[in-house]
Amino acid sequence: EAGVAQSPRYKIIEKRQSVAFWCNPISGHATLYWYQQILGQGPKLLIQFQNNGVVDDSQLPKDRFSAERLKGVDSTLKIQPAKLEDSAVYLCASSSGREYNEQFFGPGTRLTVL
Amino acid sequence: AQSVTQPDIHITVSEGASLELRCNYSYGATPYLFWYVQSPGQGLQLLLKYFSGDTLVQGIKGFEAEFKRSQSSFNLRKPSVHWSDAAEYFCAVGSMDSNYQLIWGAGTKLIIKP
């Protein structure tokens, strides 16, 4: 079974530029999460999708971050414009929801904002 | 407020020695408890989980954890660590009442001395 795929793995941008991350969850997984992990901290949930609907985006900075999950499969997370404090690893996870929501994680995208 | 505390930011252990990583939580609902491991440059991998039943749970890579409701703890143990266990370990708590969203500890970095 293929795992959660993310791209790119690394991205370096200047502040005020825009960036997009892509995630392809495990086939058949209805729930998809985007997390932000700042160095030295645990993951922070940004947004949770159930199929193509948003379950929770209360911690998503909506003035600069946006996310979509068209057709309830893969998803993109965008930052526009980026700030220095957005430097972090962005993790995507998916879950089938059948077994107490065990989450499977992708390798993450490390974003550096200069 | 719901929270997860991992009191130790770093732990250094000699190869072959035993290990215990601490996790305490504050959670109103019946918790589901998880331990994940994150190796450098990798995504998070589930080590073990507790939902109900036997309070001592076995996981992958020789790890186990014990749920102690009276102490609100879910400590991770391993009888003999290997150099390959060097990584960051995260404790997380979730429940059905919170859309199965996970609350994460800040992580404990495990350093193995040769």
Please judge whether A41 and B106 are an interchain contact, meaning their C-beta atoms are less than 8 angstroms apart: yes
CA distance B68 to A12: 44
**Residue ranges of chain B with per-residue pLDDT less than 50:** none
Q: What is the pLDDT of residues B69-90, one digit of tens each?
A: 999 999 999 999 999 999 999 9
> Residue A24 pLDDT > 90, yes or no?
yes
Please judge whether B51 and A100 are an interchain contact, meaning their C-beta atoms are less than 8 angstroms apart: yes
Question: What is the per-residue pLDDT for A78?
Answer: 98
Q: Is A108 on the interface with B (CB under 8 A)?
A: yes
Q: Is A91 on the interface with B (CB under 8 A)?
A: yes
Q: Is A66 on the interface with B (CB under 8 A)?
A: no
Q: What is the pLDDT of residues A37-84, one digit of tens each?
A: 998 889 999 999 998 899 999 999 999 999 999 888 999 999 999 999
Question: What is the per-residue pLDDT for A1?
Answer: 65
What residues contact B75, with CB distance under 8 A and at least 6 apart? B20, B21, B22, B23, B65, B66, B68
Cβ atoms of B11 and B109 within 8 Å: the answer is: yes
Among chain B residues, the shortest Cα distance to A40 is held by B106
Among chain A residues, the shortest Cα distance to B99 is held by A55
Name the average pLDDT for chain A.
93
What DSSP line would sit under chain B, residue for residue? --EEE---SEEEEETTS-EEE--EEE-SS--EEEEEEE-TT--EEEEEEE-SS-SEEE-GGG-EEEEEGGGTEEEEEESS--GGG-EEEEEEEE-GGGTTPPEE---EEEEEE-
Task: From A64, A53, A66, A101, select the one nearest B103 (Cα to Cα).
Answer: A101
Q: Of A42, A91, A101, which is closest to B106 when you measure between CB atoms?
A: A42
User: How many A/B residue pairs have CB atoms within 8 Å?
Assistant: 54
Closest Cα of chain A to B17: distance in Å?
Answer: 25
What residues pair up with B20 in beta bridges, in sequence order? B77
